[in-house]
Amino acid sequence: MYIRGFEENAELTTLISVPERGRFGNAKYRGNYAGEVLIRLIRFLQANGIQRPYIYDPMVGGGTSRDVAEALGLSYIVDDIHNGFDVVNDDFHDTGFDLVMLHYPYWKMIDYAADLPPELQKQDMSRMEWREFIEAVSHVNYKAAAHGRFVAVLVGDIAVKGGIKSIQREMAWPGMPVRHIIKVQHNAESFRKTYNGKFIPIVTEHLLLFRTDYQPGGEMWVLVPAQYKKIDIDQYVTWKTAVKKVIRQLDEITPTTVCEGIRKLFPVKLRKTNTPEATVRRTLQELEADGYLRRHVRGIYVKAS
């Protein structure tokens, strides 16, 4: 099977796989990325007229972005909490970057703070609580949009009990999403481990490229993700649908048997009514009017054939 973008030195497509991480950056730095990923982004910018992109990576870790920029002879600035720079609270070092590369910590999966002096440990994003972390990521995304023409965000999903925490799903998207690229994770633990089918291993992560193109005095629009909210299930399963589902399982359709079925299958519906039998009776009449039911004798219905 041929997948465009999968071969070595491939063009940038929405699927990226770089099995050999290459010579850029420290291969032992936990959660590092392959320099080839940044090279492909740079080539895309170059093909779009930015011949010598000015690169900024404020969370450079093992130095991948630095090494790529140096190898290509591009101007760049990099920093990290390990140099005492806090991307959330400190000022960015310059403005007018062509590409801001944001490779966020994999939250609590990797603790980057362990070797930091105590006063910096709490600034490390990998130690934040989830909500604080997402707010910090969104804040940094906005800052990046104010300082650069393109913003690339590389983030993974984090498996937690029963599901995932997805940074890209919850963070604010700065500017116009150019592409949402799926990147294969070659060296992550879940890529190598076997789980006997009980667990779905995460073998990909997200590389999002945004175009900000902010002009002084212009407007900047961002997509702020949905809020967590409790939904009213009753709004989504109507009485008619619930009653239809119940009567499919009944031999004798009466207001009492239907009410009993609703109590078992849709208990939420009963919380909002003090007169369930009356509501069921009315719904049965509506279904009769729709031609779905036929009245057999008073109080007993049969399904219309």
Ligand X SMILES: C[S@@+](CC[C@H](N)C(=O)[O-])C[C@H]1O[C@@H](n2cnc3c(N)ncnc32)[C@H](O)[C@@H]1O
Q: Which residue is nearest to ligand X (CB)?
A: 61
As measured in angstroms, the least distance from the Cβ of 210 to ligand X is 18
Q: What number of residues does the chain have?
A: 305
Crossing angle for the helix pair 64-71 and 35-47, nearest 10 degrees? 50
Pick the closer one to ligand X by CB: 53 or 105. Answer: 105
Q: Check residue 147 for interaction with ligand X (CB under 6 A).
A: no
Question: Phi and psi for 263 in degrees, rounded to 5?
Answer: -60, -40
As measured in angstroms, the least distance from the Cβ of 111 to ligand X is 10
Read off the tokens for 134. Answer: 């997402």
As measured in angstroms, the least distance from the Cβ of 14 to ligand X is 21
For the chain, where are the alpha helices, taking DSSP H only?
Answer: 35-47, 64-71, 118-121, 130-147, 167-170, 189-192, 233-236, 239-247, 255-265, 267-270, 276-289
- Work out whether the CA dihedral 214, 69, 208, 57 comes out positive or negative: negative
As measured in angstroms, the least distance from the Cβ of 126 to ligand X is 6
Contact residue for ligand X among 17, 42, 67, 123 (CB under 6 A): 123
Touching ligand X, residues 15-44 (CB under 6 A): 25, 29, 31-33
Contact residue for ligand X among 42, 81, 100, 284 (CB under 6 A): 81
Query: Closest by alpha carbon to 155, among 133, 131, 175, 176?
Result: 133
Q: Check residue 130 for interaction with ligand X (CB under 6 A).
A: no
Query: Closest by alpha carbon to 34, among 179, 200, 157, 205?
Result: 205
Pick the closer one to ligand X by CB: 47 or 164. Answer: 164
Contact residue for ligand X among 16, 87, 145, 181 (CB under 6 A): 87
Q: Interface with ligand X by CB under 6 A: which residues?
A: 25, 29, 31-33, 58-62, 64, 80-82, 85-88, 103, 105, 112, 123-126
